[in-house]
């Protein structure tokens, strides 16, 4: 909290929105056309500028924390597109997340929203073994035919329309979790160029296990010794974005202590939200003199998989001037490929060119730019669950842009985007292959012997 914080503020305790950041906003309105919720509603209060004014009113003591204030803070996607557009460099994301922390601390949210957040984010995600147990139950639910039966008969809609609507937004559980498939230390076939720590993640581990395996295969292909520390915790991003900073910092503290023991050159991940938050570990413990140096050391080593590969000079076994058939026999010749920018890659981590540069290395593909590739698809963590109707409007816009270019393959780097966009493709009956960036890159250069 800065010294300029008003004394009559309705904010209290820890994680108070920084008043200096609030007053940095020039109210220029350049953020408005980049804000999905403003474009959806046309309302000033639903824009970044409007929300900053609301936060300032509470900070100045002119407005209590009302239901309307809570709705607007939670209506925000936290996509941070406004930060990319802002000429003053206002860290809007830090303001809305601090405001949510104030709401969470005061237990001011409505029952349904509060229950989802406190149960799903705090209880289920706080312990990876607990999450894996829940995932096993969900896997049985999917594969027993019960899920299909409930959807076909409409019984689930009878029980709860909300549960029926969000069913397609729950990712399929992997046959085997990546943390159970991978050794703690994996050596490349040849020389070791880098010692890399790998975050298996929470959802990535139980629902995108194959993406994790493909990421590790890419790292091994690149000459990395891959270390997967046991007893990893969720990175804390979902909790932080939804106001539970206490849980977020507990998880972060655990991961800092775990990964700091590894003496890694880099710490690599394949989920945009995880990477964005782990790069903020240093900031989260800025007031902790004991933990801060270790947190900063971890943050400095964190890289998204595409960022790491470009930074360290990755090259596939074949170049664009060579044949367009992978060693496995998979052909990419003439495939129209497009890339969707995950918000927490492009806006938060400023990673935009690296994925495209990697895709351009793959021979035979026709890389086509997706219109409005940086526009949020509507996933935004659990946004598509708690704000289903608005998330579907954003998804419709994304799908319409996809239709304009008719790609064969869509590539993206975040699990939430994969689930959300896949739902949109299925609704429209579009037979378009959707892949994580790591999976696409590995399939393009895989060697069956290395796999």
User: For residue range 364-414, what is the model confidence (pLDDT) as tens digits?
Assistant: 899 999 999 999 999 999 999 989 999 999 999 999 999 999 999 999 999
Residue 450 reports pLDDT greater than 50: no
41 inside domain? yes
The whole-number pLDDT of residue 113 equals 64
440 inside domain? yes
Q: Contact at 8 Å (CB) between 220 and 186? A: yes
Is the alpha carbon torsion for 399, 404, 408, 411 positive or negative? Answer: negative
Which residue is listed with tokens 């809570």?
Answer: 70
| Pair (303, 266) in one structural domain | yes
| Pair (182, 302) in one structural domain | yes
Integer Cα distance of 47 and 56 in angstroms: 14
Which residue did the predictor score with more confidence, 3 or 273? 273
Average pLDDT over residues 9-29: 92
| Pair (95, 194) in one structural domain | no
The whole-number pLDDT of residue 2 equals 44
Average pLDDT over residues 95-100: 97
140 inside domain? no
The whole-number pLDDT of residue 163 equals 78
- CATH code of residue 88: 1.10.1060.10
Mean of per-residue pLDDT scores for the chain: 90
Residue 319 reports pLDDT greater than 60: no
Residues in the chain: 451
Residue 328 reports pLDDT greater than 50: no
191 inside domain? yes
What is the residue range of 31's domain?
19-105
Other beta carbons within 10 Å of 93: 21
157-161, 192-196, 297-301, range with the lowest pLDDT: 157-161
Average pLDDT over residues 409-429: 97
For the chain, what is the domain count? 3
87-91, 180-184, 326-330, 437-441, range with the lowest pLDDT: 326-330
| Pair (237, 348) in one structural domain | no
331 inside domain? no
- CATH code of residue 266: 1.20.1050
The whole-number pLDDT of residue 211 equals 98
Other beta carbons within 10 Å of 27: 10
Residue 324 reports pLDDT greater than 50: no
Upper half-sphere CA count for residue 291 (Cβ side, 13 Å): 20
Which residue is listed with tokens 């996607």?
Answer: 77
Residue 144 reports pLDDT greater than 70: yes
| Pair (307, 360) in one structural domain | no
Residue 219 reports pLDDT greater than 70: yes
| Pair (300, 353) in one structural domain | no
Upper half-sphere CA count for residue 205 (Cβ side, 13 Å): 28
| Pair (233, 295) in one structural domain | yes
13 inside domain? no
| Pair (307, 341) in one structural domain | no
78-82, 105-109, 301-305, 422-426, range with the lowest pLDDT: 105-109
Residue 85 reports pLDDT greater than 90: yes
Which residue did the predictor score with more confidence, 303 or 447? 303
Which residue did the predictor score with more confidence, 254 or 129? 254
Average pLDDT over residues 142-165: 80
49 inside domain? yes
The whole-number pLDDT of residue 241 equals 92
pLDDT band at 57 (very low <50, low <70, confident <90, very high): very high
33 inside domain? yes
- CATH code of residue 373: 3.40.50
3-state secondary structure string across the chain: CCCCCCCCCCCCCCCCCCHHHHHHCCCCCCCHHHCHHHHHHCCHHHCHHHHHHHHHHHHCCCCCCCHHHHHHHHHCCCCCHHHHHCCCCCCHHHHHHHHHHHHHHCCCCCHHHHHHHHHHHHHHCCCHHHHHHHHHHHHHHHHCCHHHHHHHHCHHHHHCHHHHHHHHHCCCCCCCCHHHHCCCEECCCCCCCEEEEECCCCHHHHHCHHHHHHHHHHHHHCCEEEECCCCCCCCCHHHHHCCCHHHHHHHHHHHHHHHHCCCCCEEEECCHHHHHHHCCHHHHCCCCCCCHHHHHHHHHHEEEHHHHHHHCCCCCCCCCCCCCECCCCCECCCCEEEECCCHHHHCCCCCCHHHHHHHHCCCCCEECCCCCCCCCCCCCCCHHHHCHHHHHHHHHHHHHHHHHHCCCEEEECCHHHHHHHHHHHHHHCCCCEEEEHHHHHHHHHCCCCCC
Among 88, 105, 122, the domain-final residue is: 105
């Amino acid at each position: 909290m800065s010294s300029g914080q008003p004394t009559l503020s309705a904010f209290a305790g820890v994680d108070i929105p920084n008043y200096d950041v609030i007053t940095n906003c020039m109210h220029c309105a350049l953020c408005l056309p980049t804000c999905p919720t403003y474009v959806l509603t046309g309302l000033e209060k639903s824009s970044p500028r409007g929300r900053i004014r609301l936060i300032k009113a509470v900070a100045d003591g002119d407005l209590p924390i009302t239901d309307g204030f809570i709705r607007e803070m939670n209506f925000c996607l936290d996509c941070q597109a406004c930060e990319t557009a802002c000429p003053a460099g206002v860290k809007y994301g830090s303001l809305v997340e601090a405001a949510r922390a104030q709401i969470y601390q005061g237990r001011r949210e409505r029952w349904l929203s509060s229950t989802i957040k406190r149960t799903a984010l705090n209880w289920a995600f706080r312990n990876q073994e607990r999450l894996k147990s829940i995932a096993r139950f969900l896997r049985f639910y999917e594969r027993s035919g019960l899920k299909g039966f409930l959807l076909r008969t409409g019984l689930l809609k009878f029980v709860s329309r909300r549960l029926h609507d969000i069913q397609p937004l729950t990712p399929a559980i992997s046959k085997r979790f990546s943390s159970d498939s991978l050794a703690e230390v994996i050596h490349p076939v040849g020389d070791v160029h880098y010692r890399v720590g790998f975050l298996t993640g929470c959802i990535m581990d139980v629902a995108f296990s194959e993406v994790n395996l493909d990421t590790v295969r890419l790292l091994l292909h690149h000459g990395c010794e891959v270390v997967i520390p046991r007893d990893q915790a969720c990175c804390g991003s979902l909790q932080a974005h939804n106001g539970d900073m206490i849980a977020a910092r507990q998880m972060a503290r655990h991961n800092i202590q775990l990964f700091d023991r590894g003496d890694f050159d880099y710490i690599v991940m394949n989920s945009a939200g995880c990477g964005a938050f782990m790069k903020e570990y240093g900031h989260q413990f800025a007031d902790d003199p004991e933990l801060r140096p270790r947190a900063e050391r971890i943050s400095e080593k964190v890289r998204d998989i595409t960022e790491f590969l470009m930074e360290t000079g990755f090259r596939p076994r074949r170049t664009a001037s060579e044949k367009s058939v992978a060693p496995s026999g998979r052909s990419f010749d003439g495939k129209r490929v497009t890339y969707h920018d995950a918000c927490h890659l492009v806006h938060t981590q400023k990673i935009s060119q690296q994925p495209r540069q990697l895709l351009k290395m793959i021979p035979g593909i026709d890389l086509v730019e997706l219109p409005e590739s940086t526009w949020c698809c509507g996933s935004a963590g659990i946004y598509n669950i708690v704000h289903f109707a608005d998330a579907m409007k954003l998804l419709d816009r994304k799908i319409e842009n996809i239709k304009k270019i008719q790609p064969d393959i869509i590539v993206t780097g975040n699990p939430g985007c994969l689930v959300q966009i896949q739902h949109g493709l299925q609704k429209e009956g579009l037979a378009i292959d959707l892949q994580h960036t790591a999976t696409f890159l590995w399939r393009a250069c895989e060697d069956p012997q290395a796999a």
